[in-house]
Amino acid sequence: MSDWQVISGGVTAPRGFRAAGIRAGLKPSGLPDLALIVSDVEAIAAGVFTTSVVRAAPIDYCRQRLQAKHSARAILCNAGQANAATGEQGWLDTLESAMMLGQALNIPSESVLIASTGVIGQRIKMDALKAGIPNLVAAVSETGGDAAAKAICTTDLVPKSIALETTIGDRTVRIGGMCKGSGMIHPNMATMLAFVTCDAAVSPSLWQKMLSRAADQSFNQITVDGDTSTNDSLFALANGQSRTPAITEMGAEAEKLEAMLTEVCQYLAKAIARDGEGATCLIEVQVTGAVDEEAARKVAKTIVGSSLVKSAIFGRDPNWGRIAAAAGRAGVAFDQENLRIQLGDFLMMEHGQPQQFDRAAASAYLKAAAAGAYLKEDTVLISVSIGNGAGSGTAWGCDLSYDYVKINAEYTT
């Protein structure tokens, strides 16, 4: 039984946050493409970013901002153009975007975080952005979380958001989150754009540590296609508007808050994997028996990222040999005589020995997962044990379908 409950509102569920999403003309499709999250007061800010050396201008901008100032009031995100590999002009566009929003909100530009998503190599359409910012600011409301979540989507089939509520002391505390991601997803932080809001009061260093640990157990554990983006960003704002005493060190209250933060991040991460480009089902790989959690997570990520495993699941082929092969090449030492593999309820290998199982029934299990897309029953569960260690880890991904190639073959044409 969890210590929290799901509530509505997304990023605007926590007190003191407003949001908006509008059509600014940045996307050729004419769909919503400009989002804003605003805190009523300066909020403690933390961030985790892509490890790619080819980075979008907003990545470098936000890294500098958060190193100099561990707080923010607003997050501005455009969809349509990634503003990555855009040279000096891309940097200047980012600075101008922050300045324009700061002026519109009457806050310092240093309190604005910027994120972009879309086609790499394309500058933001600055004329459209400039014209859209006044409309965006005018649209912010305490019920704007859903609109904001829609406005950051690119190839996503569905917007992704959640909000949770718990009690710390005698006060209600809420965490909301939204994200986008469907392709170019691979565990190398952060593999997408995600924005989290919280109304607790937390010290900057502790909030950053909490977010980094949550990312390691969520966004760093998903993969769709093995490609890490140039724009991957995870931001978290905590504005203290729940009026709880400040949490400055680990303890029962901090652990409760971090557990809820991790739950929000895991929900969003799985939503990205579930919505992988061309996907028909979510794959969850649970690994136990490793020497430590890092080793277990590494094996899980390797299995869920295997193109052969993903293809077999799309073909509804219970080919467990591909799972064994992926585990063996993960770079984690283990005795293959300890290897155990289970697909759903079907035991396929025990103590390194093949087991008899009903192949037709196992194939039907995979078909049923595809038929339950976007529902709880859409998950293919792979359980792997590699020894007797205490380390365990989970990773999430999706199958690899014909449509993935079609979507990405025609992405800019």
Among candidate residues 191, 197, 228, 302, the one labeled active-site is: 191
Instruction: Give yes or no for a contact between 85 and 230, defined as CB atoms under 8 angstroms apart.
Output: yes
**Residue 295 is which amino acid?**
A
CA end-to-end span of the chain? 49
**Minimal CA–CA distance to 216: which of 196, 189, 234, 253?**
189
Collect all residues with Cβ–Cβ distance below 8 Å to 251 and sequence separation of at least 6. none
Asked if 191 is an active-site residue, the reply is yes
Task: Round to whole Å and give the CA distance between 195 and 115.
Answer: 10
**Minimal CA–CA distance to 97: which of 362, 251, 86?**
86
Task: Round to whole Å and give the CA distance between 56 and 63.
Answer: 11
Buried b (16+ CB within 10 A) or exposed e, 357-366: beeeebeebb
Collect all residues with Cβ–Cβ distance below 8 Å to 80 and sequence separation of at least 6. 26, 27, 28, 33, 117, 118, 119, 122, 124, 125, 154
Distances (CA, A) of 88 to 49, 54, 56, 153: 20, 14, 11, 26
Other CB atoms closer than 10 Å to residue 354's CB: what's the count? 12
Task: Round to whole Å and give the CA distance between 383 and 372.
Answer: 20
What are φ and ψ of residue 328, in 5° steps?
Answer: -70, -25
The three-state secondary structure class of 214 is helix
Would strands 379-385 and 282-289 be described as parallel, antiparallel, or unpaired?
Answer: parallel
Residues labelled catalytic = 191
